[in-house]
Structure 1
Amino acid sequence: MPINIAIDGPAGAGKSTVAKKLAEDYGYIYVDTGAMYRAMALYFLRQGIDSHDEAAIGRACETVSISLEYENGIQQVYLNGENVSSELRTEAVGNMASNTSVYAPVRKKLVELQRELAGRRDVVMDGRDIGTAVLPDATLKVYLTASSHVRAERRYKELTERGESCSLEAIEQDIIERDYRDMHRELSPLKQAEDAILLDTSALNFEEVMREMEKLVEAAKKNPIAVGNF
């Protein structure tokens, strides 16, 4: 049986950074579900589709292809054959992804790909509903979170280091609003799975978070059934 590690949590909690490092350390495949949803969102933006036009979004899902490839050990995201990895982290794409991920056609198309990959490879997958909906039988489920202010500070630092002008207050407000949308959407809302382990990183640095994650992975590999009580 492949080892599947599901990491869920709100925007800006550090899920992707932790998942990538964990996959690298253990030689597993990192599946960036957020990047897949962002690629879909980028397609909608390019097509000029309004995020509230569910019918148009459903039709667009029939003509979009998203795939993950690894080049020199780095995951690349392809949208209809084009490498769009460098275009996925803008605020516009993030907001479109949050707004459109609630639609069934979007989720259905991407979940099929995610499950197929997890069924044949050891994977680390992060997102909003991996442990609750995508991989309900995952070997290990972790709910990674931090306060909205800490998450906003991290995002602000990331953007300013890239030379982008931004407001810490605006970023935190956007995070709070995105949390609300993700937690209250009708389809697969963001929530901690009953058998997931809560890990709050507000007061932890990256090295401390990784040490905690590695403890959980080792425990799960030894005794998958009992890990929820770790």
Structure 2
Amino acid sequence: MKFTVAIDGPAAAGKGTISRAVAAKFGFAYLDTGSLYRAVGVKALEVGRGVIDPVIAAQLAGSLSQTDLDRGDLRTAMAGQAASKVAAIPEVRAALLEFQKTYARRDGGAVLDGRDIGTVICPEAEVKIYVTASDEIRAERRHKELVQAKPELTVAQVLNDLRARDDRDAARDIAPMKPADDALVLDTSDMDIAEAIKQALTLVRSVYDGT
């Protein structure tokens, strides 16, 4: 049985945690598509010695390995910014597109999270959710994730980084970040993660039980 759940939204809104919970509850496969772009971005920075070359980035996108996706530095702020930059390169998106589409329609169901899953990768997904939260709440959440490894980091710095990435992701010509027209918008600003997961599970179950 093929059943796709597309979960989109900006950084630190909670989409990754919600996606993993949905996948675990229903026994679906899970793909964090952001990790693909993070891996390409980090490798491109390494090869370019701090500068991302679009041609090299596209080549790297076509040859990602599991080792690349298992790197321990993919959740850093640097990796996030690099991901946003390579995601704006059409050739990189094209190289990763077919992999994501094939993954989404695998037997047994799949959950994909990212920024253009419901609009570009899986417009035919059975369930589409756009997870968001206020800029300030997202900055506080991301700061808590990063501050242990980088004690000097301030919430204001994280907020500036998030807004810069949001602007870049929403303004790009290819697959800009935005909710699909038929997506449920789930604002987690005033929710704890348990409530956000509960609402997402309720939506998925209502559709899944009817298939």
Which residue of structure 2 aligns with residue 45 of structure 1? 45
Which residue of structure 2 aligns with residue 74 of structure 1? none
CA deviations 1:108-159 (Å, max 9, x no partner) are 1212111112222311110000000000100100010000000000011111
Which residue of structure 1 aligns with residue 114 of structure 2? 127
Which residue of structure 2 aligns with residue 91 of structure 1? 77
TM-score by length of 2: 0.92
TM-score by length of 1: 0.85
Residue type of the alignment partner of 1:105: E
Q: 1:190 to 1:99 in 2, by over 3 A?
A: same
Structure 1 stretches (4+) deviating beyond 2 angstroms?
53-62, 64-67, 160-165
Which residue of structure 1 aligns with residue 64 of structure 2? 65
Show structure 2 runs of 5+ residues with no match.
none
Residue type of the alignment partner of 1:120: R
For 1:59 and 1:110, how far apart are their aligned partners in 2? 11
Show structure 1 runs of 5+ residues with no match.
68-77, 225-230
Which residue of structure 2 aligns with residue 5 of structure 1? 5
CA deviations 1:146-198 (Å, max 9, x no partner) are 00000000011111244643110010011111111000000000011001011
Of Structure 1 and Structure 2, which has the larger fraction of its residues in strand?
A: 1
Assess if the C-alpha contact under 8 Å between 2:3 and 2:105 holds in 1.
no
Which residue of structure 2 aligns with residue 72 of structure 1? none
Which residue of structure 2 aligns with residue 20 of structure 1? 20
* Count of matched residue positions in the alignment of Structure 1 and Structure 2: 209
Q: 1:55 to 1:197 in 2, by over 3 A?
A: same
For 2:70 and 2:209, how far apart are their aligned partners in 1? 38
Assess if the C-alpha contact under 8 Å between 1:40 and 1:66 holds in 2.
no
Q: Secondary structure at the match of 1:57?
A: helix
Residue type of the alignment partner of 1:113: F
CA deviations 1:95-119 (Å, max 9, x no partner) are 1110110112211121211111222
Assess if the C-alpha contact under 8 Å between 2:6 and 2:129 holds in 1.
yes
1:154 to 121, 141, 149: 141
Which residue of structure 2 aligns with residue 175 of structure 1? 162
Which residue of structure 2 aligns with residue 111 of structure 1? 97
